[in-house]
Every structure is written in C-alpha cells, then in structure tokens.
Structure 1
Amino acid sequence: MLTSQRKQHILSVLRRDGNVVAKSLSEELGLSEDTIRRDLRELAGEGLLLRVHGGALPLAAAEADFAGRQQLAPDEKVAIGRAAARLVKPGQVVFIDGGTTAVQLARHLPANLRATVVTHSPSVAVELASHAGIEVVLIGGRLFRHSMVAVGSAAMAAISRIHADTYFMGVTGVHAEAGLTTGDLEEAEIKRALMGSAAETVVMASSEKIGAASAWVVNPVASAGTLLVSPQAPAAALVPLRRAGLAILRSDDADGGKAADTAGGASELSGAR
C-alpha cells in the first residue's frame, strides 16, 4: 500500500470510528507500528488530525480564527445561543464565555430580563451594551485575539473573586476521553477558572466540536453538568459523552422547556447557586 493510500485509509478510519489506534491499524494493514506512527505524525503536521498516546483523534475544526469560526455551523450556533439564553433566569449571575456561540447567547437574552452577566469577551459585552436590564461586568486582561477574550493573571484574579450561578462555556472539542479542550494554554486556564467559580457549567457545542479534540485540556467532560447541542449533533458521537456523565440537552428541547437527557434519566437544570 502506497503512503498516500495509507494516509487516506487512516483518515477514513478516523471519520468512521472517531479515533485511530496505531497498534490495531498496524495489525489490520500488516505494517509496523513505526510506519503508522510516522503517517500519523505527517498527517498531524498537515493539520488533519490530533496525535494522542497510542493513536489519533479528529482535530477540532473550531480552531480557526474568530472570523473563520463565524462561518462554521452558523444556524446551529444561533439555535444553541437562543436555547442557552432561555436557561438564564431573572436575578442570576452568569459567566458567558467568548466565541461565536456566546455572542448568539447574548444576542437572544430576553429584552425584559434582569440579571448580571460577567464576561471576559469584549464582543459579548458590546452585544449587551444596549440591554437595559443586564448589568455587565467585563473582566480585563491581555486580549487573546484569536478568540477575542481576555486572558492572563489579571483575568484569573478577577474570576477568583466572583461566584456565579452558571457558566456558559465554549470549547473547540468535546470528547469522552480527551475531555473538554481548546486550542490555547492560557485560554484553557481561564475556562478552568470560570468552571471553578460557577455552581454549574453548560457547555455549548455545535456539531463539528462533538467527538473532536484540541491540544489543551480544560477538564474532563464529567466536570460539566450539561452539554447543549443542536438537533443536528451526531447521535452516535453523543453516546460516549452520556456514558461519561454528561447530560445532553438539545436546543429544541431547551426552547420547549424539556429536561436534559442523561444516561440515567432526565434532570432539570438547576437555577440556584
């Protein structure tokens, strides 16, 4: 088998199974593990997969820059943002992450809602500037232009002094084994701090993020309470996430006020700190 054929086969297995195990693939093809690992290194260098111990995972498409991410699953992000906005209750203090889905959340908060939004995203803050009932607390720090969010020690210190009801989190990848991931070390640290300062975390993820992974781990998937997805989310990819302990809430269910779908049944999202 030619090198190009092997690489296409590896990518085909990755799309089909959601992961590649070097040992299994070497046995299937009758090749050495060193050959498979070399192919994986080259494919990773081309930005086509993420190498992990023993094999590879799909690389998160959401690692594109902010402008590029606006073109990824725009209809899903609107639906997820609208559904997330319905989960914010009057009087709550909520963290809203940076990113394109978070902007949609801010955009769909009800006009009569009175609550406090804490965000490290200038884009989210600007979106809420004309919302009379929302008290906006903007966390400062060094601007990470890729995601248009504040990072660094100043942002970490500010987050540590706040207790929020819910953190609406954006990530580039949600994978049962790799966890909740993002493409930058400092951004991962900020997300981890926000999770630690909130009573619960709702992860907002469009389809291209489900089953994908980036290099920097925020936390295991079970550390978040709920994963909010669109009806287009691949059903097979959600199964291992349920097994890992995530409650799955579809955006159409959230709009209708239905409960989150968990491995052991249904549970309503808590609104209390």
Structure 2
Amino acid sequence: MAGERQGSTEPELQSLLSDESQADTRQSRQLARRQSIAEAVMGEGSMRIEDISARFGISLMTAHRDLDELAGRGLLRKARGVVSAAPTSLIESSDVYRANRQQAEKAAIAQAAMAFVEPGQALFLDDSTTVHMMAEHLPAKTPLTCITNSLTLMTTLKGLRDISLIGLGGQYYNWCNAFMGRMTTLEVSRLRADTLFLSMAAVTDDIVFHQSPEMIETKRAMFNAAARRILLVDNTKFERRALHGFAALAEFDTVIVDGNTAPIHVERMRAKGIAVVVAPMQPV
C-alpha cells in the first residue's frame, strides 16, 4: 500500500512542479512584455492602445490589462484609447523602468558586492534593481538568511536552497513592487543583520537621495539595524537629483561604483576617506 501511495504521489508532484515552472515562465514573459511596452510609450511620448496591441501581437484585452498594471505603478496614463508617459519623477521610481537601465553596470556592481557576503550571514537586501542582481550569485555563498521588503526579490529567492528567506510585510506599493511604511519599519526594528546592501536614486554633494519619503523611512530602518552598510550606486546616479536626503556617503562602510563612473567622483570620495570599490566592467 505504501508503494502504491508513493507511485500515485510522484506524478502529482511532478505535475505540480511543472505547473509552477510554467507559471514562472508566463510571469517572466509578461514582465518582459510590460517592460517593452513601457519603453515604447516612453520613447514616443504617447501611443494608441490599438497600436500597442498590433505592435506586440496581443489582444486588446491583454493590452488593457498590461497598461492598467503599468498605470497603477505610476509609469503610464490611460485616457480615451491613448496611453502616455507619466511625469519623469514617477517613471524613475518604478521598478519596471529601473530594471532595464544600466544593466551591465548593475551586473558588475552586484558581482563586486558578493565579496562582502560570507556563508552564515544575515543580509538586508532592499528593493533596488541593482541589489536584485545579486540574487544569481547568492547560492555560491549559502547558507544565508536574506531579509527583504521587495516582492520581486522574494519571488526570485523563494526556491533557492539553503537560503532562509524573511519577507518584510507592511503596506504594499505597486509602483515599486515592495512593502514599506510603519508596519515594515517595525518589523525591521526587531531584527539585526550582518550587512545591508542598498541602492538609492541620486547622489548630490556626496549625500544620497530618493524621491519617496516612504522609501527613505524603510531603508533608514534597515540602515539602523545592520552592522555593516554597503551602498551600490551606478555612474548615472551622480548626474541625478531627488528630493529627500538619506545619508552622507561617509556613513556607509563601503560604496561600490561601476567602472564607467567618472574618475573625478571616485577621487573626490577617496579624498574624503570614503571606502570606494570600483567594479570592473565586463567586455562587451
């Protein structure tokens, strides 16, 4: 009887795993399509929804569903059959927008960041797309405890062996696909981690900034609860501005930049005693 039960369970398990794999594949295709749609609309300023349907070979219903999701994240605006790009500050905050920006630089920074990860550590990982690129390297440093407010990162890490995943709850923000707010910071305050890896929107006068006060509050809680703080920042952040200040670069234990960062920034930071790691770019 035991053998019969085992025989009947294995096909069911294989079917379940297959269904989960197919669901993950569909989700990946959907995300990639939505990113492409957002890029197309941003490039042209506005587009007719019918034209989006034709360009991407999808039904009008699917087009509306994709556009509703992108509008909910603050990337696009829909009105009378036309979709247009939202204001720049909202666009640059969205994870959908950020995921396709400076991918080579972010990959180099993420790889360099792994030098600061050791097996057995507990890590705070924020919702930034640069930190998300560390996920593919984490299995080489297990066992690890990973703590994050990013739903995207939770989805990526949930199936990895020897990674204990702690998902921070709270109020969900669609535009960044992450949890933030008082409930999130309360959870963070009850934890202690070895290292925090985070990124921010802009660096001005050697101070890091972000557009969202809720994001600032959540990252500050992680900052205060970590023994070591590592900032990941690609070269474009030195050319941007954002409203809310977070911390001076000197408050971080290490700042990791990519190899395309202007030498003037690297030299200035080092002259101030800031520990800077320059991540080499991979040849194209």
**Quick check: TM above 0.5?**
yes
User: Partner letter of residue 219 of structure 1?
Assistant: A
Provide TM-score, normalisation by structure 2: 0.64
Aligned to 2:269: 241
Give yes or no for the alignment of 1:231 onto 2:262: no
- Give the deviation of 1:210 after TM superposition: 2.4
Q: Deviations over 1:201-252 (max 9, x none)?
A: 1001111112533101111221111111111111112233334442111223
Provide TM-score, normalisation by structure 1: 0.66
1:94 and 1:166 in contact (8 A); partners too: yes
* Structure 2 CA distance for aligned equivalents of residues 239 and 146 of structure 1: 35
- Which of 226, 238, 246 aligns to 1:218? It is 246
- Give the deviation of 1:155 after TM superposition: 0.4
User: Partner letter of residue 67 of structure 1?
Assistant: V
Q: How many positions carry a matched residue from both structures?
A: 195
* Structure 2 CA distance for aligned equivalents of residues 188 and 72 of structure 1: 21
Which runs of at least 4 in structure 1 moved beyond 4 Å after TM superposition?
Answer: 59-62
Aligned to 1:40: none
Aligned to 1:188: 216
* Structure 2 CA distance for aligned equivalents of residues 62 and 243 of structure 1: 34
Specify which structure has the bigger relative contact order, considering alpha-carbon pairs within 8 angstroms and separated by 6 or more residues: 1
Aligned to 1:31: none
2:117 and 2:141 in contact (8 A); partners too: no
* Structure 1 CA distance for aligned equivalents of residues 269 and 91 of structure 2: 19
* Structure 2 CA distance for aligned equivalents of residues 128 and 170 of structure 1: 19
Give yes or no for the alignment of 1:201 onto 2:229: yes
SS of the residue 1:210 aligns to: helix
User: Partner letter of residue 87 of structure 1?
Assistant: F
Aligned to 2:111: 82
Structure 1 residues 218 and 226, CA, compared in 2 at 3 Å: closer, same or farther? same
- Would you tell me which structure has more helix in proportion to its own residues? 2
1:141 and 1:152 in contact (8 A); partners too: yes
Give yes or no for the alignment of 1:63 onto 2:92: yes
- Which of 158, 161, 181 aligns to 1:132? It is 161
Q: Deviations over 1:165-187 (max 9, x none)?
A: 1100110112334x111110010
Structure 1 residues 246 and 212, CA, compared in 2 at 3 Å: closer, same or farther? farther
SS of the residue 2:133 aligns to: helix
- Which of 97, 101, 121 aligns to 1:72? It is 101
* Structure 2 CA distance for aligned equivalents of residues 188 and 105 of structure 1: 21
Identity of aligned residues (%): 26
* Structure 1 CA distance for aligned equivalents of residues 185 and 141 of structure 2: 31
Give 5+ residue unaligned stretches, structure 2: 1-87
